[in-house]
Amino acid sequence: MVSGGQVLKEKCGIVAAWDVDEAAHLSYLGLFALQHRGQEGAGIICFDGKRMKGVRGQGLVSQVFTRDQIAELKGRAAIGHVRYSTAGGSLAKNLQPIWVEALDSEIAIAHNGNLTNAVGLRRRLEAEGSVFQTSSDTEVILHLISRAKGNFEARLQAALDEVEGAYSLSIMLREKQSLRVFVVKDPHGFRPLVVGKLGTGFFAASETCAFDLVGAEYLREVDPGEVVEFGPDGLKTWKLKKKAKTAPCVFEWIYFSRPDSLVFGESVYEVRKKLGELLAAADKKAGFKPDLVMGVPDSGIPAAIGYAQAAGVPFEMGLIRNHYIGRTFIEPHQSIRDFGVRIKQNPLKHSLQGKRVVVVDDSLVRGTTSKKINQILREAGVKEIHMRISAPPTISPCYYGIDTPKEAELIAANKNLSQIRDFVVADSLEYLTVEEIYQYVKPKTPMCDACFTKNYPVVPEVIGAE
Amino acid sequence: MVSGGQVLKEKCGIVAAWDVDEAAHLSYLGLFALQHRGQEGAGIICFDGKRMKGVRGQGLVSQVFTRDQIAELKGRAAIGHVRYSTAGGSLAKNLQPIWVEALDSEIAIAHNGNLTNAVGLRRRLEAEGSVFQTSSDTEVILHLISRAKGNFEARLQAALDEVEGAYSLSIMLREKQSLRVFVVKDPHGFRPLVVGKLGTGFFAASETCAFDLVGAEYLREVDPGEVVEFGPDGLKTWKLKKKAKTAPCVFEWIYFSRPDSLVFGESVYEVRKKLGELLAAADKKAGFKPDLVMGVPDSGIPAAIGYAQAAGVPFEMGLIRNHYIGRTFIEPHQSIRDFGVRIKQNPLKHSLQGKRVVVVDDSLVRGTTSKKINQILREAGVKEIHMRISAPPTISPCYYGIDTPKEAELIAANKNLSQIRDFVVADSLEYLTVEEIYQYVKPKTPMCDACFTKNYPVVPEVIGAE
Amino acid sequence: MVSGGQVLKEKCGIVAAWDVDEAAHLSYLGLFALQHRGQEGAGIICFDGKRMKGVRGQGLVSQVFTRDQIAELKGRAAIGHVRYSTAGGSLAKNLQPIWVEALDSEIAIAHNGNLTNAVGLRRRLEAEGSVFQTSSDTEVILHLISRAKGNFEARLQAALDEVEGAYSLSIMLREKQSLRVFVVKDPHGFRPLVVGKLGTGFFAASETCAFDLVGAEYLREVDPGEVVEFGPDGLKTWKLKKKAKTAPCVFEWIYFSRPDSLVFGESVYEVRKKLGELLAAADKKAGFKPDLVMGVPDSGIPAAIGYAQAAGVPFEMGLIRNHYIGRTFIEPHQSIRDFGVRIKQNPLKHSLQGKRVVVVDDSLVRGTTSKKINQILREAGVKEIHMRISAPPTISPCYYGIDTPKEAELIAANKNLSQIRDFVVADSLEYLTVEEIYQYVKPKTPMCDACFTKNYPVVPEVIGAE
Amino acid sequence: MVSGGQVLKEKCGIVAAWDVDEAAHLSYLGLFALQHRGQEGAGIICFDGKRMKGVRGQGLVSQVFTRDQIAELKGRAAIGHVRYSTAGGSLAKNLQPIWVEALDSEIAIAHNGNLTNAVGLRRRLEAEGSVFQTSSDTEVILHLISRAKGNFEARLQAALDEVEGAYSLSIMLREKQSLRVFVVKDPHGFRPLVVGKLGTGFFAASETCAFDLVGAEYLREVDPGEVVEFGPDGLKTWKLKKKAKTAPCVFEWIYFSRPDSLVFGESVYEVRKKLGELLAAADKKAGFKPDLVMGVPDSGIPAAIGYAQAAGVPFEMGLIRNHYIGRTFIEPHQSIRDFGVRIKQNPLKHSLQGKRVVVVDDSLVRGTTSKKINQILREAGVKEIHMRISAPPTISPCYYGIDTPKEAELIAANKNLSQIRDFVVADSLEYLTVEEIYQYVKPKTPMCDACFTKNYPVVPEVIGAE
């Protein structure tokens, strides 16, 4: 979900469709449901029975694909990708799925995650004469597959044996006239990836919200290190050789995934409500009861509802989002304070005036957006602002597929609690701890919480190099 | 606010700016805040110190105006309009503000409302040689002004003395090099219209949410039959000769206006919460307590929050809206049941399964969208659906500026309570009555509730003719 | 035809279609053929059997109309318009056909020309209460028709009895369910207008080049003061009461019309060749023979061919036009001398080097474009440039529908022959005289040559007022 | 130049800029001048002092690049490409320049021509693990460079030693912070490529018409097998190891290049005039003298002018081109005969009626367009049509960078002279022979004339394989 001022960004979302009518069209719907995982670009490659065809472009899913293009992307198999990208220039080089064609075969690949040893691998491949047309680490996987020997399964094993880090992949492979689709999750299982049944075929996606739209029936989360292969004989599953400690990303629950998704087997909405309950429990214990509780739209709302129910405090909307907001809103020359926030959200003055308010948000990264929102709330007459963050302080970057600011920009890595509170013009500020989250939410396996704890499951090159 | 399946539509919203920097740009922001009052077209006319200039076009505010156009619309006075329009063809003839130029003067006019004797007036004017270039009744006002004698005030009085029905107007008048702006409300005061202070100048708009964005300070609602004139000497106010029973539209509170607006002097959000409290009180009296309460996004949510607080029942989100939804979403050929609703909203299955749910909505017009939403909720596993409408049954069309279906399409005009309940696949269904609303909300003057009661304050031609 | 740097611009072109399949589509083709008469906007109104429908927009014909729009404009009657417009702002107010609807009737009107008493008429109409929505004098005609009494023929007579100046009109009239189309030429017959047969129906247009594309068969030029009426009984023709001295525009032959058109009964190409022959005859008489002759593309070429044939001098292309030139060509910051001309035309250096060249152009208005072209030719190595203008010096503006610069900007009104020659960096310069043109081309009636002679057939208000 | 119905298409045009202000912007102008060499796509890569940046897209040069993009492409070096492409799909995969980045270097490459052993090379490279992202043979060159050893010069030599066929290349190479640009012509010298001086730097392009627009001074044609290297020390030149018989494409003179270009050291316009002179000489010898001669616009006109001068026959325009023609012209449902030609060209009926006309065109490929044009001319009243082709009969496809139909579609490969004459509804038809062309035009080296003679300088794979 997109919050008022989104700072942390998921780098991607993926889908795959096998043996379904209008595979590209359903992939388009699936990508639309995953739009929150990447708003900068999108792409679909399908197989029309003879060859692969595709469309990739910059912008939202609804902007990238035209009716005519979708109609042209015929066939019963497809993979797709939405991406968030910092890529400069206008060549749109890094759009996915990456698609390469040999004289007798084609491979398309879509990747959600981040390889932690991509630079070293790339340096070696370049020395061996490989030509890179993108700066994406996804291309590294392709070159490794291409240089490996044996059948495709052997080459995929060999390639993934060499890469480290986070990857949930959709791969479409044509060998002469024979087609297969694979979805793969890295051995740590950092990013979510689910498979479902759709008619006689299958659908896979980063989150179950994509299933709800296309009408797929949820089967299960792909296991860490698992390859699910869709082929002429239906679904087959096998394991990567490489083993690792399971480490699904806890931040998918806290912030990134849609609340209506099942992620790592849990309802995201229910997890977030529980985080709100934890916040309420702490306040109760401390003897603090506000006049009302509100969430920062949209991502803070489930935890605010959890807080309200647990604390017996009225839940109020607090801020109204403007749903017509576009990308290119024209700001006047005269200064309108906090214009960027104000154009998106407007406080419900008459409900807030003179009140002691708990404002729940799911993270506090740089702190600048929270500060602006709180300023707007104060102007609207709020008496006291008590910020409650439904997560621990974010103190360190993610190397597994989330776009985080550098440590120097993370407010919790640089200021103490009272400094942060002052910065965001709040009267009080509280976070959760990793321990109380695990104790209350009870995940089935250990999770990756490196952004809160610096306990990185895989040491990235960039750190090793320092 | 736009509900999942908007059926009733406000026909327009208007703004006016006087003696402010970047008047057209602020009008653009004001129209953006009023976007819910009209999504089919928008226009701004400004005065650049010598002449009027303007831009009008079809689509959303963010689509109609380009950065270059806004930059070209210089000057310290402007009026603007957003419109909902069923107009066919591509001539965009009926876009507003309507702008006419005489050799020594110019008039631009923007209208929110609907004249009830426009056809008769037009027939007379045509017989007298007037040439109409639009099918809008706003043009009738212009012709009447043009044919009247005396100074502009006298001509405006004379013109408005002849028209009947609902009109909130913004008028910009240039006479030689002298400029004035007028905002006018009809004697019944059907539609909202507020004036505010902005720096040394003024800003007027259909709702206060426009003030919050441009930073204007709310002064007051324009009175029924009042003309507020902005000129070289600042604000002047005078009354129309014609008198009538005050009749502000109660549906602005219930449905149309934004919850963060003050309308007719009341906070729309607070009024809607009260309507939810009334629904809760009735259920309480009947001894009914659900497991949870949810609102149909977005317009049903404030009343659902009111219900939750009054009934002591947990408020839950129930449905997640997709914020990336565009106008031209491409539907697959294979049927996806209730696709139109499903693409916009997705139920929180795991919170709803097996629950007895109160679903609050602010109206039930044709009933078709509610039916689809309830079907989706049932598929998600809801055990019992108890629909609660925070308004009386809509039984008759509006002739004062709301686009309503014909009586034959209004479900409450054609089915009884249990038939409606069955149609929308609910387990129970309750409405409010006009009387309990007035008793609890306590409006300062009588209101127009003709769509619930058929008590029309002005008999429209169309009925008179039947 | 558009020359390298078009200065004089035809204000409009019109078409009308009666009783033909796809009337709007054929009108679109006709307007496309008339694109040289107006590149700023276009519009078509058709009658679908019940009502009028239309599309108007800014830009070229190929930009204004989409495939879907053309497909929607069904019916067997239509009128259309292309316009050149200096109108500021983006309201596109002055696009034509103007289309007004009364409760029982509709009129659409398209106008090529310029009324010389429009301001006075408009002042009177405004005083009587008429409301003007455009600044075009076409609207004056509509108001006069609307205020007149009697049937439509009487009202049209009455209206046109009052207006003075140049008008070739297409009018579409719906009265209840009955439709007629009229094409009308003013009593002087300033602007061209032709009627043709198309299947069982008719087609009318400003020039015959429109007939060639739609496959219409040329019948004849409309007479000055004639009304051609297309109705249920086919073609009817009657005369306006007002009489005047016939005065077709000689500049249509010299410059504006397409060379492949018949205008005022003559082949434009053949007339232009004759003008070149006259230029050659003068040079022959003076004992001057160049190495080669070229025309300034495209409009100077037919006269250059005539010169070549008469003088026995080789015709060469001289300049190559770039056909890919678009409207929004991006100029570099570093100065490229004469960039605007250079991007459109490139000299054939190797054919021009060291040669004594006659450069034929059809007019020399401000002289700035000719200067740039001659500079480019000199840089390409031309030894001597002998400019020959296939017209007399332009010394006075047109008030009958051509957009001409003010007298202060007309080079021939402000400099003598040798000064002009020096300004355009030519070695010699010659014009034709009105007398020799008439003697050689032998027009059937006297023509309007006011831009060369100041003999204005109708005194315009603007002059009368001075 | 684009003829009425272009059948043969140049596959590409290239530019390179070194050490000039606004290198990308000048490349854009250069590509604009080369637009006739490729209208399907365009791209520019520049070096901003640190890294390469670029824009590529589908469509005309004026459509692909926006003002903002050009402004962002800063720096003093750039290469560019226009392409004609039959590529299906919308991935625009085959747009050039191809741009690859290694961790320490970047290479961009633009190619005009066609490799005749690309498939075999690609098969080998793929077997060795190379990953191809396009289907273009340009990528083969990149992989060969990448896999070769030594410094860049050695690797370029090694790579080009392996490829066969036609290539004129622009290459931009960044190694760490050091930049060089290379332009290269294959040992046969099939396609044109010229270098010029521009201020303190250099500009290279497929044809000199690009120089005229950017203001570069022509230095010379690049030699067959020559590498011109632009680096910190200015221009350096060296030779490829591979030697071959010189074989510049004679069709560049006859048809493809712009008449205002110098190609292979000759003025294209003058060569074409000479071809017309040859046609006239043959007719003279045969005792045939027509009433007039015309060229099929635009490419047939120079030869028609040559014919006219040599034969002493009047040159006439014959057909008028519509300059407003766009790509998406909407055809009516009712059939308009020869609509595609008619929308572009209109005959000058009054000059052609009853005349015996020589119609000069530069080629006759399938014959279908000529047939349509001749039909239109006959309808216009031409008495006799004598087609004269300023080239020999096209009997075999090109494998060196021209898009030609298959032999089965080449009319001259399948019909004899009188059959062709009948097909194109001409009264007589004459071609030139290769021998008389060479004798009269006197090229400095042997040329490639395989499309007329089947004497292929390099045997292409596709033929070898048959």
Give the DSSP letter of residue D457: S
CA atoms within 13 A on the CB side of A158: 14
Contacts of C140 (CB under 8 A, 6+ apart): C115, C118, C121, C122, C125, C163
- Residue C367 pLDDT more than 80? yes
Q: Does D305 contact C326 at a Cβ distance shorter than 8 Å?
A: no
- The rounded mean pLDDT for chain C is 92
User: Cα(D313)–Cα(D294) distance, rounded to whole angstroms?
Assistant: 10
Give the residue carrying structure tokens 């602005």. B252
What pLDDT score does D167 carry? Answer: 97
What pLDDT score does C102 carry? Answer: 82
Per DSSP (E only), the strands in A224-365 are 226-231, 234-239, 262-263, 266-267, 292-295, 319-321, 345-347, 356-361
pLDDT interval class at C3 (50, 70, 90)? very low
| Residues D349, D350, D351, D352, CA torsion sign | positive
Tell how far CA C153 is from the center of its chain.
Answer: 28
Give the DSSP letter of residue A216: P
Spell out which residues of chain A touch residue D133, defining contact as CB-CB under 8 Å: 98-101, 133
**Which residue on chain D is closest to A98 by alpha carbon?**
D133
- The stretch B33-59 carries a mean pLDDT of 93
pLDDT digits (tens, 9 = 90+) for C333-342: 877 788 888 8
What pLDDT score does B404 carry? Answer: 86
pLDDT digits (tens, 9 = 90+) for C46-64: 999 999 999 998 888 998 9
What pLDDT score does A89 carry? Answer: 44
What pLDDT score does B465 carry? Answer: 40
Of A74, A81, A32, give the one whose Cα is nearest residue A57. Answer: A81
Question: Residue B184 pairs with which residues in a beta bridge?
Answer: B169, B227
3-state secondary structure of D143: helix
Q: Does A309 contact B309 at a Cβ distance shorter than 8 Å?
A: no
What pLDDT score does C134 carry? Answer: 84
% residues pLDDT > 90 (chain C):
81
Q: Does C330 contact D21 at a Cβ distance shorter than 8 Å?
A: no
What pLDDT score does D93 carry? Answer: 67
User: Cα(D94)–Cα(D157) distance, rounded to whole angstroms?
Assistant: 24
What pLDDT score does D87 carry? Answer: 41
What pLDDT score does B371 carry? Answer: 96
* Host H or E run for residue B340: helix B339-342
Please state, in angstroms and as integers, the Cα–Cα distance from residue B419 to each residue in B296, B427, D163, following that order.
21, 11, 80
CB neighbours of residue B314 within 10 Å: 19
Contacts of A404 (CB under 8 A, 6+ apart): A8, A365, A394, A397, A398, A410, A451
- The rounded mean pLDDT for chain B is 92
Q: Which chains touch A (3 or more CB pairs under 8 A)?
A: B, D
For residue B129, give how far its alpha carbon lies from the nearest alpha carbon of chain C (Å).
4
pLDDT digits (tens, 9 = 90+) for C232-256: 999 999 999 999 999 999 999 999 9
| Residues D330, D332, D333, D335, CA torsion sign | negative
User: Cα(B1)–Cα(A324) distance, rounded to whole angstroms?
Assistant: 10
Q: Does A324 contact B62 at a Cβ distance shorter than 8 Å?
A: yes
Identify from B348, B353, B441 which residue to disrupt to test chain A contact, counting A C-beta atoms within 10 A and taking the largest count.
B348
DSSP output for D301-349? HHHHHHHHHHHT--B---EEE-TT--S-PPPPSS--TTHHHHTTEEE-H
Give the DSSP letter of residue A36: G
Tell how far CA C47 is from the center of its chain.
Answer: 27
pLDDT digits (tens, 9 = 90+) for D175-208: 998 999 999 999 999 999 999 999 999 999 999 9
- Residue C327 pLDDT more than 80? no
Q: Which chains touch D (3 or more CB pairs under 8 A)?
A: A, C
- The rounded mean pLDDT for chain A is 92
Please state, in angstroms and as integers, the Cα–Cα distance from residue C75 to each residue in B135, C55, C70, C71, following that order.
22, 14, 11, 10
Question: Residue A234 pairs with which residues in a beta bridge?
Answer: A231
User: Cα(C274)–Cα(C438) distance, rounded to whole angstroms?
Assistant: 11
- Residue D43 pLDDT more than 50? yes
Amino acid letter for position A233: D
Q: Which two tokens stand for residue C376?
A: 């480019």
Residues of C at the B interface (Cβ-Cβ below 8 Å)?
A: 53-56, 69, 72, 88-91, 93, 98-103, 119, 122-123, 126, 128-133, 135, 139, 142-143, 146-147
User: Cα(D148)–Cα(D150) distance, rounded to whole angstroms?
Assistant: 7
The angle, 0 to 180 degrees and rounded to 10, between the axes of the packed helices C138-147 and C118-127 is 50
pLDDT digits (tens, 9 = 90+) for A341-363: 888 899 999 999 999 999 999 99
User: Is residue D451 among the annotated active site residues?
Assistant: no
Q: Which two tokens stand for residue C141?
A: 């005609």
Give the residue carrying structure tokens 């469709």. A17
What pLDDT score does D2 carry? Answer: 28
User: Cα(D146)–Cα(D129) distance, rounded to whole angstroms?
Assistant: 12
Q: Which two tokens stand for residue B173?
A: 């008048």
Q: Does D269 contact C348 at a Cβ distance shorter than 8 Å?
A: yes
What pLDDT score does A465 carry? Answer: 41
- C–A contact (≥3 CB pairs within 8 Å)? no
pLDDT digits (tens, 9 = 90+) for D45-71: 999 999 999 999 888 899 899 988 999
User: Cα(B314)–Cα(B298) distance, rounded to whole angstroms?
Assistant: 18
- D–C contact (≥3 CB pairs within 8 Å)? yes
Strands C105-115 and C98-101: antiparallel
Q: ω into residue A186 within 30 of 0, thus cis?
A: no
What stretches in chain A show pLDDT beneath 50? 1-6, 86-90, 464-466
Contacts of B48 (CB under 8 A, 6+ apart): B73, B74, B75
User: Cα(D377)–Cα(D356) distance, rounded to whole angstroms?
Assistant: 11
Residues B156/B161/B164/B168 CA torsion (nearest 10 deg): 30
What pLDDT score does B7 carry? Answer: 52
What pLDDT score does C27 carry? Answer: 98
Residues of B at the C interface (Cβ-Cβ below 8 Å)?
A: 53-56, 69, 72, 88-91, 93, 98-103, 119, 122-123, 126, 128-133, 135, 139, 142-143, 146-148
- Provide ipTM, 2 decimals: 0.92
What pLDDT score does B389 carry? Answer: 98
3-state secondary structure of B47: strand
pLDDT digits (tens, 9 = 90+) for C107-147: 999 999 999 999 999 999 999 999 998 888 899 999 999 99
- Residue C91 pLDDT more than 70? no
CB neighbours of residue D89 within 10 Å: 17
- The stretch B430-454 carries a mean pLDDT of 97
Q: How many helices (H) and strands (E) does chain C have?
A: 18, 23
Give the residue carrying structure tokens 């596109």. C92
- Residue C328 pLDDT more than 70? no
pLDDT interval class at C413 (50, 70, 90)? very high
Q: Which two tokens stand for residue C263?
A: 């205008």
Of A401, A405, A346, give the one whose Cα is nearest residue A377. Answer: A346
| Residues C248, C251, C253, C259, CA torsion sign | negative
% residues pLDDT > 70 (chain D):
94
pLDDT digits (tens, 9 = 90+) for B153-202: 999 999 999 999 999 999 999 999 899 999 999 999 999 999 999 999 99
Amino acid letter for position A6: Q
- Residue B351 pLDDT more than 60? yes
What pLDDT score does B2 carry? Answer: 28
Of C419, C394, C391, C421, give the one whose Cα is nearest residue C409. Answer: C394
What pLDDT score does D326 carry? Answer: 61
Strands D384-389 and D356-361: parallel
For residue A161, give how far its alpha carbon lies from the nearest alpha carbon of chain B (Å).
38
Give the DSSP letter of residue D255: I
User: Cα(D352)–Cα(D349) distance, rounded to whole angstroms?
Assistant: 5
Strands C428-430 and C384-389: parallel
pLDDT digits (tens, 9 = 90+) for D390-441: 999 999 999 999 888 899 999 999 999 999 999 999 999 999 999 999 999 9
Q: Does D332 contact C26 at a Cβ distance shorter than 8 Å?
A: yes
Radius of gyration of chain B (CA): 23
User: Cα(D197)–Cα(D19) distance, rounded to whole angstroms?
Assistant: 10
Burial A24-39 (b: 16+ CB within 10 A, else e): bbbbbbbbbbbbbbbb
User: Cα(C261)–Cα(B315) distance, rounded to whole angstroms?
Assistant: 76
Question: Residue D448 pairs with which residues in a beta bridge?
Answer: D249
Q: Which two tokens stand for residue A28?
A: 């388009």
- The stretch D6-23 carries a mean pLDDT of 84
* Host H or E run for residue C124: helix C118-127
- The stretch B434-450 carries a mean pLDDT of 97
Of D364, D411, D399, D367, give the one whose Cα is nearest residue D11. Answer: D399
Spell out which residues of chain D touch residue C314, defining contact as CB-CB under 8 Å: 305, 309
Q: Which chains touch C (3 or more CB pairs under 8 A)?
A: B, D
For residue C11, give how far its alpha carbon lies from the nearest alpha carbon of chain D (Å).
17
